[in-house]
Amino acid sequence: MLRRVARALVIVGGVGLMAACGGDAGSTGAGGSAEPERGGTVIIAQTADMAQPLAVLSQGGLDASLQDILYMTLLRGEWRDGRLEYVAADENPMALARRYEFIGPDSTSLRYHLRSDVLWSDSVPITAHDVVFTYQMLRDPMIASPRQDYTEHIEAVEAEDDHTVVFHFRRRYPEMLFHSGHGIVPRHVYEGVAPSELTSHPSLRSPENGTLVVSGPYMIGRWARGQQVTLVRNPHFQPQGYLDQIVFRIIPDATTRLVELQTGAVDWVNGVPFEQIPPLRQQAPQIRFELEEKRFYDYIAYNPGRFEAFTDPEIRRALGLAIDLNGLLRALQMEEYAVPAAGPYPPIFADLYDPDQLAPLPYDPEEARRILAERGWEDSNGDGILEKEGTPFRFTLVTNSGNQRRADVSQIVQQQWRQIGVDVQLRTLEFNTFMDALVRQDYEAALGGWGVALSPDLTGMWGPTSPYNIVSYESLRTMQLFEQALAQSTEEQANPLWQASARALVEDQPYTWLFYMDQVNGINERVRGVEVNTFGPFQNAWEWWIPAARQRSAPVAPFAADTLE
């Protein structure tokens, strides 16, 4: 099998998890051939719809997941022994580069030699000029890409010829391959489009029937808004995918997703709630469970711009001390799949995760009460709610709908905060609406989750201009540590500084980190050739297949553009 793809995007996490860790699901099982067969449709249940499928605009959820299927990158990565390593086109067909080398007296430039045999889905050749154009879009402040930070240390990107591109960096640092690894977009489609008109471009408003030009193994054939996204083969990608279609069905309700998985109406649910795994194993033996290991964490974010008390790090720490993390794991039957979290690096980072120096907050409601009293919060009228200068300690905690785990955590945390005199109202929003509220910082406190980027660089999440810095965190000490880490030439030099950055960040408690967790994919055993691991679930879609005897009998539907509203 070909080596696999590392997902380099930060994403907003899903629902819950376990069983087979990162194995290839290529065994024959009952009624199937050992050799891949063409045809068939895989149906994958999703919580929320696609919003912005263009690589430079995608932010999270389904958009981020689709990037592994729709867009090629210069290199692809592998997660080996807690570290990210990169492979070229001879090892992975989703890589555009045949090889690369560091150049210049200080190795501050990076030259990529591109394949000459790759085409966009509209048959136009992919060239170095597309790479240059992509990084111009990423850099443009008017486009405001969520990954604009990739370009911060890039001085220039130039095409030496159609198949050679050079990145010139301001200095040598460990993340040069990572920051030059963004999904490439087609220049001939978007050149000349004003930034203010990009999101309303016809290819994004109506990406059906191949209107959205992509480079990966599948392209968008139909988009029924709020219902499903149907992918069909990209005729110009080699090797051709085995499946006729990959359908992402939008099913916001978690219970419905599991029922559809159990009955066979869908083939795949990523984010199976932990407590549902034992009954599903008994009731649905046709379902296997595959693990994205410890790449996710849930958190509570405190927005000081919307609730004044959150400007004080000690207040934020007090709220964290009032949450019983181990009790949460027990109550939600997560102990097999999660551990209490202590900061931005989950256990997958072998060189950065340090539970001895960066331990989770203890459960200490008495200390929480002491801190709040010291800051002037008292229950002066005996109603059980703290006040300060006549204002009760009351705020709203928002989370996304379609996620039972977060709904349960919200209710438990609400009760635990009430025990220290803090009154919290709960609110849920549709996933894309929730994410938009986070980015616009239109909330007081938020319970969310991230899937971490496979890079130690924290500036993509916590840099002062990052759209993912959803609490406007800015600390001179932490930012100086970021700069020092980025100024190092090697990972060995940078990693102690990234660890120090994480400690400084956690001391300020902009979040209460709740738990690092696995994510479980429940997949019907008729779907073969899938690889799920730390990189994510959709890294090798061209190799998925279904035995002919197990393929759905319904023919492939004709594609027609949906009416735009």
Secondary structure (3-state) at 313: helix
User: Is the residue at 531 inside a domain?
Assistant: no
Pair (243, 314) in one structural domain: no
Q: Which of 135, 166, 190 is the last residue of a domain?
A: 190
Question: What is the count of structural domains for the chain?
Answer: 3
Cβ neighbours around 112 below 10 Å, total: 23
Establish if 533 belongs to a structural domain: no
Residue 96, domain member (yes or no): yes
pTM, full prediction = 0.80
SS3 annotation, 468-525? CCCCCCCCHHHHHHHHHHHCCCCHHHHHHHHHHHHHHHHHHCCEEEEEEEEEEEEEEC
- Are 175 and 312 in a shared domain? no
Please give the Cα distance from 431 to 308 (Å, whole number): 26
Tokens of 123: 């048959």
- Residue 38 CA to residue 528 CA, distance in Å, equals 12
Nearest to 369 by CA among 341, 393, 342, 396: 393
Output b/e per residue, 405-415; b: 16+ Cβ within 10 A. Answer: bbbebbebbee
In a domain, 44, yes or no: yes
Range of the structural domain that residue 176 is part of: 72-190
**Same-domain status, 394 and 504:** yes
Residue 380 sits in the same domain as residue 235: no
> Are 329 and 458 contained in the same domain?
yes
Does one domain contain both 25 and 112?
A: no
Which candidate, 316, 277, 299, 323, places its Cα nearest to that of 522? 277
Verify that 287 and 381 share a domain, yes or no.
Answer: no
How many C-beta atoms lie closer than 10 Å to residue 161's C-beta?
10
**Does residue 532 sit within a domain?**
no
The model's pLDDT over 394-441, given as tens digits with 9 standing for 90+, comes to: 999 999 998 889 999 999 999 999 999 999 999 999 988 999 999 999
Indicate the residue type of 374: E
The rounded distance, in Å, linking the Cα atoms of 255 and 272 is 10
Residue 15 has φ and ψ, to the nearest 5°, of -110, -70
- Residue 286 within a domain: yes
Domain check: are 305 and 285 in the same one? no
Residues whose CB is less than 8 angstroms from the CB of residue 277 and which lie 6 or more positions away in sequence, other chains included: 17, 18, 19, 289, 520
Number of other residues whose CB lies within 10 A of the CB of residue 342: 23
Domain containing 316 — which CATH number?
3.10.105.10
In this structure, are residues 448 and 511 in contact, taking their beta carbons and an 8 Å threshold? no
Determine the pLDDT at residue 34: 80
**Three-class SS of residue 302?**
strand
Same domain, 417 and 475: yes
R_g of the chain computed on alpha carbons: 24
Is the same domain home to 449 and 507? yes
pLDDT at 28: 37
Type and span of the H or E element at 163 = none
In a domain? residue 251: yes
Q: Which of 296, 300, 297 is nearest to 447 (CA)?
A: 300
What is the β-pairing status of strands 445-451 and 394-400?
parallel
In a domain, 559, yes or no: no
Q: Which residue, 137, 162, 190, sits at the end of a domain?
A: 190
Whether residue 159 sits in one domain with residue 114: yes
Residues 477 and 507 in one domain: yes
Any idea what DSSP says for residue 166? E
- CA-nearest of 316, 346, 375 to 512 is 316
Order of strands, sheet of 164-169, starting from the edge strand that comes earlier in the sequence: 97-103, 109-114, 164-169, 154-161
Q: Rounded to whole angstroms, how far apart are CA atoms 118 and 96? A: 8
- Residue 110's CATH number: 3.90.76.10
Extract the residue ranges of the chain whose pLDDT is less than 50: 1-32, 554-565
Alpha helices in 231-332 (DSSP H): 254-263, 277-283, 313-321, 325-331
Show which of 129, 155, 190 is a domain's final residue. Answer: 190
Distance (Å, whole) CA 435 – CA 443: 11
What are the residues facing 191 on neighbouring strands? none
> What phi, psi does 207 have (nearest 5°)?
-85, 10
